[in-house]
Amino acid sequence: MRILLTLALAVGLTAAVSAQNTSSTTQTGTGHTSNINQVGANDATVVQAGMDNVSDINQDGSNIALVDQDGSNETADIDQIGAGNEAEALLGTFTSGSDGNDAVIVQDGDGNYGLVFNDGTNNDATITQTGNDNEAGVIAGLVVADADNVATTTQTGDSNSSLVFQAGLRNTSSINQTGNGNTADADQGGEDNIATTDQTGDGNSASANQGGLTNNSDIDQDGNGNSATTLLATFFGANNDAIVDQDGDDHSAFVFNDGENNDAFITQTGTNNDATVIAGFASTDANSVAEIDQSNTGNTATVFQGGESQYADVNQGGDSDTATVDQSGDSNEAYVDQGATFSPNSNSDATITQTGSTGVAIIFQGGPGDLMTSDITQGGGADNFAVSDQYGAGHSASQTQDGGDNYSEVLQFGGSDNTATVSQTGDLNFSAVFDSGSTNTADVTQNGTSNAANVNLATSGNSATATQTGSLNVVDHDMGTIFGSGNDVTSTQTGSENYARAFNDGTNNDASMTQQGNDNFAYVIAGFALSDADNFALFHQKGDGNTADVLQTGSDNVAHVRQFGDGNTTTVTQSGSGNTARERTATGVDNTVAFTQSGSDNFARWRVWGDNNDVDINQVTSGNTVSLDGRGSAPTAPVVGVDGNIIDVDQIGGDGNYIDGFFVDGSSGNTITILQDGTGNSVVGGTNGYGLWMVGDGNSLTITQTGNGHTADHTALGDGNTTVITQN
């Protein structure tokens, strides 16, 4: 751009003369009209001072034209045809109360240069250049109520450059360039400004800077290597719009709009596109909308929004895309779609960060695709909502919410080796993870009150870990539903009224639950068929009123329950063979234990360190074993015995069943009832070889054995003990 040359011509009112004809016109007064028509390498200069001046210059050749008008209602029209033309119209030079100036410059040829400098009110500038290496510049208005300026620039050719500067109210600028290497820049200040740039070609660059209210900037570029930047109302303003549409490769778009009700729409088609939107900085900035659509591969989209009720929507199609949305304030919404709208997407990353309350964050990845990463962070408020939906294999989803009334959901399906991690801190949080595939991992951590976590993992090799700290927490696990094997589930809850449930069918499933607090309930179901085997369930509950319920189907399953406190209930149901059920009721009273094992070669052991417990053990078929262990304290503490326990053991429908046990010194008022039917059953053993051994007073033992070849061995030491053995 030749700004220095323009200023020199404006001051000196002279130009380089390298032409055949030279025309110079000077008019002083009002109502002047000047018309110059030259053919050849001409030089024309018109100076008009006054009002209502009109100047028309038409030159054919390598011409240079300069028009200087000072006054009101001037009109300058320059039309040049040839190569290397230069045209300048200054109109109301340096303000001086100029009004209603118009300048039209049309040049046809190569290397043309056009400049319009009109200051005042109601100024219009139109520059049309056809050829190569054209330059066009429009500067309209410098104070004195500069308003209603309109500038239109159209250039066709290669390496065109255009500059528009407007200051005032209701300015309009439109730049249309066709060719390669075009550069367009529009700077507007005031209210109700509209800047539109349309470029077609390669290596285009467009920049629009608007300040004020109700600004609109529309940039449309078609070609390769395009770059577009719109700033709109910098540091103030409202109701601004920016629309950038680029079609080609290596595009870059940047939108910076602050204030209220700002909108930015960016659509890019091609490869390696880069789009950035920054909207709003204060809490009063609200209702901004940012939409970015990108296709092909290697796209990058970044959105920063501050204020309330902001909306961000990013759609990317292809591979290796990156989407980042950062919102601060309340009631904001962010959506990232990678692969759903356009095409399958792989190796892409999506990140949403929201600070405030009532935020909505949703990420969809796949289409299908593999190796996608989703990260959602919400903090600083309540009522936040987060959803990660991934389709394919090898995905990773992480969600972190800080506050109350938060909701988090992760959906992963259509592949394997997916990983989900959810962390919530606050009150009334809810997390749901659905992961369908094999060798998947889900980790949920919640800290607060009234939290709920639901994890559903299908097929085999899945692992789910849920840790909740607080009260009224609920964990619900579904592992390899209907099918699958090798699943793991671990739940740790600290607080009161917690509920943990694990449903894992298949082979080699593990479940481990630890609950500390009051009124906890743990529930495990493992296996649907006898072929479902090697399941393991471990419960650790500390507090009062806890409930542990285990259902295992298959063989070689293990259920281990530990409960500390009073009024706890343990129920273990196992069907198959080679299963093991262990229950330890430690330092508590009034607990209820029920074991049911159907099959052969099962083992059940009950260990109690408390009083007044109710134990019911049922084993069906042959080769089963029951071991009873009663002591009044932990093994490392002094032994004091247990009192008032009621124990009922039934071994029916088989042969070769076995019962042993002992109650240490000081155990009194216990009632044990044993029923065995079949052949070769026995009540023998004990730790010291004296059979079912009881040391204490007022204990009652009843053994009933029906069939042949039974053995009953019992030792009772103390006073007032009763033993009844019936064999028939």
Residue-by-residue DSSP string for 126-195: EEEEESSS-EEEEEE--SSS-B--EEEEEEESSS-EEEEEEESBS-EEEEEEESSS-EEEEEEESSS-EE
- Which one, of 648, 671, 662, lies nearest residue 595 by Cα? 648
pLDDT of 342 reads: 47
**Spatial distance between the Cα atoms of 389 and 380, rounded to a whole number of angstroms:** 24
**Spatial distance between the Cα atoms of 105 and 124, rounded to a whole number of angstroms:** 11
Q: How confident is the model at residue 13 (pLDDT cuts 50, 70, 90)?
A: very low
Question: Which residues are within 8 A (CB) of 57 and not within 5 positions of it... i.e. 6 or more apart?
Answer: 35, 36, 37, 38, 44, 46, 65, 67, 76, 77, 78, 79, 80, 87
Least confident of 116-125, 338-347, 542-551: 338-347
Least confident of 60-69, 436-445, 521-530, 697-706: 521-530
**At residue 9, does pLDDT exceed 50?**
no
Q: How confident is the model at residue 654 (pLDDT cuts 50, 70, 90)?
A: confident
Three-state SS for 71?
strand
Residue pair 329/356 in contact by the 8 Å Cβ criterion? yes
DSSP-derived pairing of the beta strands 592-598 and 614-620: parallel
Element housing 10 (H / E)? helix 3-12
Cα distances from 135 to residues 131, 184, 200, 630, in angstroms, run 10, 10, 16, 100
Residue pair 289/311 in contact by the 8 Å Cβ criterion? yes
The amino acid at residue 38 is: Q
**Residues 179, 180, 185, 191, CA torsion sign:** positive
Residue pair 632/608 in contact by the 8 Å Cβ criterion? no
Residue range 701-721: mean pLDDT, rounded: 92
**At residue 609, does pLDDT exceed 90?**
no
Residue range 41-58: mean pLDDT, rounded: 86
- Which one, of 594, 672, 679, lies nearest residue 630 by Cα? 672
**Spatial distance between the Cα atoms of 710 and 678, rounded to a whole number of angstroms:** 8
Residue pair 519/488 in contact by the 8 Å Cβ criterion? no
Q: With left for phi above 0 and alpha for psi between -120 and 50, is residue 644 left, alpha or beta?
A: left
Q: How confident is the model at residue 95 (pLDDT cuts 50, 70, 90)?
A: low
Residue pair 86/64 in contact by the 8 Å Cβ criterion? yes
pLDDT of 229 reads: 93
What is the value of pTM for the model shown?
Answer: 0.80
pLDDT tens readout for residues 349-396: 999 999 888 889 999 987 666 788 999 998 867 778 899 988 877 888
Residue range 235-256: mean pLDDT, rounded: 84
Q: How confident is the model at residue 10 (pLDDT cuts 50, 70, 90)?
A: very low
**Spatial distance between the Cα atoms of 555 and 621, rounded to a whole number of angstroms:** 14
Burial class (CB in 10 A: 0-12, 13-18, 19+), 687: exposed
Share of the chain above pLDDT 90, in %: 26
Burial class (CB in 10 A: 0-12, 13-18, 19+), 118: buried
pLDDT of 86 reads: 92
pLDDT of 633 reads: 54
Cα distances from 471 to residues 73, 187, 408, 452, in angstroms, run 80, 59, 19, 10
**At residue 640, does pLDDT exceed 50?**
yes
Cα distances from 575 to residues 68, 554, 620, in angstroms, run 103, 6, 9
pLDDT of 7 reads: 35
pLDDT of 1 reads: 46
- Which one, of 575, 718, 580, 706, lies nearest residue 652 by Cα? 706
pLDDT of 344 reads: 66
**Spatial distance between the Cα atoms of 521 and 573, rounded to a whole number of angstroms:** 16
pLDDT of 533 reads: 55
Q: What is the DSSP letter of 665?
A: T
Q: How confident is the model at residue 530 (pLDDT cuts 50, 70, 90)?
A: very low
**Spatial distance between the Cα atoms of 714 and 692, rounded to a whole number of angstroms:** 5
pLDDT of 283 reads: 54
**At residue 8, does pLDDT exceed 60?**
no
Burial class (CB in 10 A: 0-12, 13-18, 19+), 637: exposed
Calculate the average pLDDT of the chain: 82
- Which one, of 89, 80, 184, 174, lies nearest residue 131 by Cα? 80
Residue range 265-278: mean pLDDT, rounded: 87
Least confident of 9-13, 303-307, 344-348, 578-582: 9-13
**At residue 404, does pLDDT exceed 80?**
no
- Which one, of 511, 533, 534, lies nearest residue 523 by Cα? 511
Q: How far is CA 1 from the centre of its chain?
A: 46
**At residue 510, does pLDDT exceed 50?**
yes
Cα distances from 656 to residues 55, 81, 599, 682, in angstroms, run 122, 115, 13, 7
The amino acid at residue 507 is: T
Cα distances from 625 to residues 43, 307, 677, in angstroms, run 117, 69, 14
pLDDT of 482 reads: 55
Residue range 250-273: mean pLDDT, rounded: 84
- Which one, of 185, 188, 151, lies nearest residue 167 by Cα? 188
Alpha helix segments (H runs only) across 73-119: none
- Which one, of 403, 465, 391, 476, lies nearest residue 435 by Cα? 391
- Cis before 368? omega within 30: yes
The amino acid at residue 583 is: E
Residue pair 668/718 in contact by the 8 Å Cβ criterion? yes
pLDDT tens readout for residues 282-306: 656 677 899 999 887 788 999 998 8
Residue pair 363/334 in contact by the 8 Å Cβ criterion? no
The amino acid at residue 408 is: S
Domains of the chain by residue range: 20-170, 262-404, 416-587, 588-727
Three-state SS for 5?
helix
Residue range 43-56: mean pLDDT, rounded: 86
Q: How far is CA 709 from the centre of its chain?
A: 69
pLDDT of 663 reads: 85
Q: How far is CA 651 from the centre of its chain?
A: 56
Q: What is the DSSP string of 539-556?
A: EEEESSS-EEEEEEESSS
- Which one, of 127, 162, 122, 156, lies nearest residue 140 by Cα? 122
Least confident of 409-418, 652-661, 705-714: 409-418
- Which one, of 467, 465, 461, 551, lies nearest residue 509 by Cα? 461
pLDDT of 106 reads: 92
Q: How confident is the model at residue 28 (pLDDT cuts 50, 70, 90)?
A: confident
Beta bridge partners of 335: 313, 362
- Which one, of 1, 36, 2, lies nearest residue 19 by Cα? 36
**At residue 19, does pLDDT exceed 50?**
no
pLDDT of 281 reads: 64
pLDDT of 714 reads: 87
Three-state SS for 4?
helix
**Spatial distance between the Cα atoms of 92 and 109, rounded to a whole number of angstroms:** 28
pLDDT of 481 reads: 60
Residue pair 488/464 in contact by the 8 Å Cβ criterion? yes
pLDDT of 367 reads: 66
**At residue 671, does pLDDT exceed 50?**
yes
Residue pair 541/518 in contact by the 8 Å Cβ criterion? no
**Spatial distance between the Cα atoms of 446 and 422, rounded to a whole number of angstroms:** 8
pLDDT tens readout for residues 435-473: 877 677 889 988 887 888 888 877 667 788 898 888 788
